[in-house]
Structure 1
């Protein structure tokens, strides 16, 4: 008897303007909580030079260190390679391709904010990522 073919792992792309805050937090949470069962990407329409230091500090409080991540520029190839594209304030910069699932998460931008302002954004992102995982991965 031939075992059933396994479903390919879903892929998710998180996009925000600078790829230094919201999208980095979302990607880090999905990578951790998805435990290798989801392909994770993040990018920005106008990437910064480094991840926001307040974001690094807020994520360290929950045991995640995104400081080694480098913000990446959004490319059509990254969108095409993803099943789900989640935008977080990137405006019209995100290319749209047929057959992709697009979600827009309205979240405060942590740019220029201190860690106290980043914590609630971090916690909301974690909650949304947990909900996304329930949709993407079958129970079991």
Structure 2
């Protein structure tokens, strides 16, 4: 069976979706193909999110905001949106979920830690679901 492909999409692709991608790669240990993109990608990664991930020993090396394209959605099995729902292309047969999460942009480090904790809990549940199949 082919590895499931998960796409995390948010607006800037530098905070929530970045954290979800990095955390999924960590927890899935190669069992899931993970992508992330943004409907309006920013110029850089959110430094607070990067700091929180690095506190956990996770690297964001090689990561940069990417544009959400119809092709990226079409080639994914599971699409997780985080605040860009209406701007995310829809393809029948895909599993879509919208995770309502606070935007870490402009937040203090403790708030960003809480947001990343929430992302991590949701990611772990998703990884358990997808790897139990």
Equivalence for 2:18: 24
TM superposition score normalised by structure 2:
0.96
TM superposition score normalised by structure 1:
0.92
Larger radius of gyration: 1
* Separation of aligned partners in 2, 1:135 and 1:56: 27
Equivalence for 1:3: none
Retained in 1: the 8 A contact 2:85–2:98? no
Gaps of 5+ in 2: none
Which of 58, 70, 78 does residue 84 from structure 1 map onto?
A: 78
Equivalence for 2:36: 42
* Aligned residues between the structures: 133
* Matching of residue 104 in structure 1 with residue 106 in structure 2: no
* Deviation, structure 1 residue 67: 5.1
* Deviation, structure 1 residue 78: 0.4
Retained in 2: the 8 A contact 1:51–1:67? no
Gaps of 5+ in 1: 1-6
Retained in 2: the 8 A contact 1:50–1:69? no
Which digits, 9 at most, give the CA deviation of each residue in 1:49-96, with x for residues without a partner? 111000111111111122541100000000011000000001411000
* Matching of residue 135 in structure 1 with residue 104 in structure 2: no
RMSD: 1.1
